[in-house]
Amino acid sequence: MFGTRWEHWHTPYHLQIFSLASMRMAAAKAGLTVERSMTVTPSAWLQYQWIHLLTRPRPAEPSAFWSGLREMTSVQRTGTRALSLLHKSKLNHLVSRAFDGLGLGDNRLYFLRKS
């Protein structure tokens, strides 16, 4: 959903992002079939994604949120506090479940079966 602004897009953790079609091809080569797929998103990860969008630096600059190497602006600090309240109020959890229900969540799970 967040495309190039997805905050978890980094190596060495995400070397291959599978679409349903590419997972079906890889599974078939291994003698497996995709039985079903779904997304599961930890609500805290969605909170971090919102904060990342709010504090995203220019390319090659450190993130104020992640590195602490530069100070956040007052707008970023206020936005980060508001997003923390959204998370504490559990509304962020409902949004996470809605994204998962639409298949737009952060972690895609594939259930495979031997062919």
* Pairwise CA distance, residues 20 & 106, whole Å: 14
Name which of 36, 15, 3, 19 is nearest 110 in CA terms: 36
Q: Mean pLDDT of all residues in the chain?
A: 85
Per-residue pLDDT of 51-97, as tens digits, reads 888 887 777 777 777 777 678 889 988 998 999 998 899 998 999 99
- Give this prediction's pTM: 0.69
Name which of 12, 4, 5, 6 is nearest 108 in CA terms: 6
Structural domain boundaries, residue 74:
3-114
Helix (H) or strand (E) holding 111: strand 107-114
Q: List the structure tokens of 67.
A: 């590195």
* Pairwise CA distance, residues 7 & 50, whole Å: 9
The per-residue pLDDT for 12 is 59
Number of domains in the chain: 1
* Pairwise CA distance, residues 46 & 78, whole Å: 18
The per-residue pLDDT for 71 is 81
